[in-house]
């Protein structure tokens, strides 16, 4: 009779799981910090008529504020440049970007009621949380879905630019509906991508930078999902 064998847990697996949990805690904490900065800046500017006049009363300042976050993303937080920066600089650029987005989002307080903004924020948080959990736990490869969602994102950008000139309420509605689907899908895909890209072998500094970049992806998913839902369900300020 052969002796009964018991499965022995491998310490390496435990270490990886613990490290992955810590990594995601950093990602979500950094994302949450960005959302707080954005919310505080948006409300502070909206509550200060003098700042609103300075920003929206000058076309150059307004477009500088609107475009600066894109400049940080495409020229400051590129993988090649992030690899040469220290973690403090990467985090600083991320938080600067969230502050600028907050300033640009201050205008929503002139269009929508505080109750609507609060309601849609919690709806967004619920949808985002459920989708991110799905992306983390699913065994299904979401790569093909992510590629499809990215193509949808490009379509949304093009349609939004066209609608600046058309000013079609129907097109805005369609863009918002498609946007909800796209950014929900991107949330799941980005979460899975962050999970699969983590490895303890990358080293502490590299994983810290990856946590900030992961937070950036999820932050942008959340903000865009919030804006799409706000257009669909936000009640106009009387």
Across the range 43-51, mean pLDDT stands at: 95
Which pLDDT score, from 0 to 100, does residue 19 have? Answer: 87
Across the range 187-201, mean pLDDT stands at: 93
pLDDT band at 219 (very low <50, low <70, confident <90, very high): very high
Rounded distance, CA 116 to CA 235, Å? Answer: 6
DSSP secondary structure string for all residues of 56-80 = HT-HHHHHHHHHHHHHIIIIIS-HH
Over the stretch 66-93, which tens digit does the pLDDT of each residue have? 999 999 999 999 989 999 999 999 999 9
Over the stretch 98-128, which tens digit does the pLDDT of each residue have? 999 999 999 999 999 999 999 999 999 999 9
In terms of Cβ atoms closer than 10 Å to its own Cβ (0-12, 13-18, 19+), residue 18 is exposed
Residue from 238, 210, 168 nearest 77 by CA: 210
Which pLDDT score, from 0 to 100, does residue 237 have? Answer: 63
Query: What average pLDDT does the structure give for the chain?
Result: 90
The residues spanned by each domain of the chain are 11-233
Over the stretch 139-179, which tens digit does the pLDDT of each residue have? 999 999 999 999 999 999 999 999 888 889 899 999 999 99
Cα–Cα distances in angstroms (integers) from residue 185 to residues 12, 40, 96, 120, 213, in the given order: 32, 28, 27, 18, 18
Which pLDDT score, from 0 to 100, does residue 16 have? Answer: 55
Structure tokens at 183: 């950014």
Which pLDDT score, from 0 to 100, does residue 116 have? Answer: 93
| Three-state SS at 236 | strand
Structure tokens at 16: 């990886």
Sign of torsion, CA 223 235 115 52? positive
């Amino acid at each position: 009779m052969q002796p009964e064998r018991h499965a022995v847990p491998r310490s390496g697996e435990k270490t990886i799981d613990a490290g992955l949990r810590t990594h995601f805690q950093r990602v979500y904490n950094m994302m949450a910090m960005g959302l707080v900065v954005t919310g505080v800046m948006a409300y502070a500017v909206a509550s200060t008529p003098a700042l609103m006049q300075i920003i929206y009363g000058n076309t150059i300042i307004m477009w500088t504020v609107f475009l600066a976050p894109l400049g940080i993303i495409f020229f400051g937080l590129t993988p090649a440049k992030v690899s040469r920066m220290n973690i403090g600089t990467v985090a600083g650029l991320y938080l600067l970007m969230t502050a600028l987005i907050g300033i640009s989002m201050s205008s929503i307080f002139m269009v929508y009621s505080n109750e609507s903004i609060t309601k849609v924020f919690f709806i967004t948080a619920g949808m985002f949380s459920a989708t991110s959990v799905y992306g983390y736990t699913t065994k299904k490869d979401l790569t093909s879905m992510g590629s499809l969602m990215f193509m949808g994102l490009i379509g949304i950008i093009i349609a939004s630019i066209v609608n600046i000139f058309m000013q079609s309420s129907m097109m805005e509605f369609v863009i918002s509906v498609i946007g909800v689907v796209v950014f929900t899908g991107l949330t799941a895909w980005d979460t899975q991508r962050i999970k699969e890209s983590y490895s303890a072998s990358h080293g502490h500094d590299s994983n810290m930078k990856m946590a900030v970049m992961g937070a950036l992806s999820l932050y942008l998913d959340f903000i865009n999902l919030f804006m799409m839902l706000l257009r669909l369900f936000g009640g106009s300020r009387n």
